[in-house]
Amino acid sequence: MIIKTNASGFDHPASSEITPQAIYQGRRELIKLMAKGVAGAALASWAGRKALAQTLEKPGKLAALPGGKSAVAGAMTLEKITDYKLVTSYNNFYEFGTDKADPGKNAHTLVTKPWSVAVEGLVRQPKTWTLEDLLKLSPQEERIYRLRCVEGWSMVIPWVGYSLSELIKKAEPLGSAKYVEFVTLADPRTMPYVGSRVLEWPYVEGLRMDEAMHPLALLAFGMYGEVLPNQNGAPVRMVLPWKYGFKSAKSLVKIRFTDKEPRTAWNKAAASEYGFYSNVNPAVDHPRWSQATERRIGEDGLFAKRRKTLMFNGYEAQVAQLYTGMDLKKFF
């Protein structure tokens, strides 16, 4: 899997985070490299993308959303943060297309204002929260988490948000609430692929109650000190750093407490391939490929080595106790 050079900016629509000057610069760099006769398409696109990254790596011009440093254990990794440009141009957000470059090109049609999130189901305090109220519910924190996709790539991203547990506490779940279901927006008018049959819409995810209450489970409103770009799940999404990326539902509209394990979008699409838990686990392979290693986005040059995938994506000390006594091959 090679990131397409085009995805790095050439045919990016007049998106607010890229200045025409930067695109022009990037294109000139690439033309120069190609003129030098850099051998092989792979090398040309890799070198070209690196040249582009240098001009386009800064965060965009979205509204600022800085977060204070987090005190949550495991919330900061010292690993190199992935370039903003890569994080915003290599996405999975099937409502906007299945190609990695599609969300960056298409998600400008998403309308994020006004926005609200309904909290309902087995709770004492059901409530529809406006985004403004949600933003104020708890102080925003910056947390540098790895995001590891089931497809075998990973990124390191400075997210901004607060623990989902803050919102759950306000909802006062009943004793019968054992699971939390996350429902995301499915609007055919603004999401061009919601009519497609790749997945059942809306995209739904789920967690067990104790997983949802874990302090690392982040309700995220921003990244890189700014509000979320549309392609990364604006205006509010989940980030579960110890689970495969697809558990981190984007553009949330409903959080529902239930007594039954929710059927999730990927589980419905292919139950033998995507289980309910989907914890990052190098010892449990996807039926069609290994999960033992990963490719860090931004390190995909000719000589870059794949990294060893860590148990629970490196968050074992924080989350392993949630799964004591469970057969993780069975509950994958």
Ligand X SMILES: Nc1nc2c(c(=O)[nH]1)N[C@H]1C(S)=C(S)[C@@H](COP(=O)(O)O)O[C@H]1N2
Residue 12 interacts with which of Mo ion, ligand X, none, CB < 5 to 8 Å by class: none
Among 245, 262, 298, 314, binds Mo ion (CB under 5 A): 245
From 207-215, 246-254, 307-315, 318-326, give the range in contact with ligand X by CB under 6 A.
246-254
Q: Give the SS3 label for residue 64.
A: strand
- Is 147 near ligand X (CB under 6 A)? yes
**Rounded to whole angstroms, what are the CA distances from 320 to 128, 150, 279?**
33, 19, 10
Binder of ligand X out of 245, 262, 298, 314 (CB under 6 A) = 245
d(CA 219, CA 130): 14
Residues 185-204 close enough to bind ligand X by CB under 6 A: 203
User: Smallest distance, Å, CB 247 to ligand X?
Assistant: 7
Place of tokens 């690392």: 216
Using rule CB under 6 A, residue 224 touches ligand X: no
Cα separation, 107 vs 97, in Å, equals 9
Q: Confirm or reject binding of residue 279 to ligand X (CB under 6 A).
A: no
Judged by CB under 5 A, the residue of 5, 89, 91, 92 near Mo ion is 92
Query: Residue 92 interacts with ligand X (CB under 6 A)?
Result: yes
Does 93 sit near ligand X (CB under 6 A)? yes
Using CA atoms, how far apart are residues 301 and 281, in angstroms rounded to an integer? 25
Distance CA 170, CA 164 (A): 10
Residues 6 or more apart whose Cβ sits within 8 Å of residue 21: none
| The one among 84, 94, 129, 201 contacting ligand X by CB under 6 A | 94
**Which of Mo ion, ligand X, none sits in contact with 224, Cβ below 5 to 8 A by type?**
none
Q: Does 249 bind ligand X (CB under 6 A)?
A: yes
Rg (CA), the chain: 20
Q: Which residues contact 57 (CB under 8 A, 6 or more apart)?
A: 83, 84, 85
**Amino acid letter, residue 17:** E
Sites of contact with ligand X (CB under 6 A): 91-95, 147, 149, 184, 203, 232-233, 245-246, 248-251
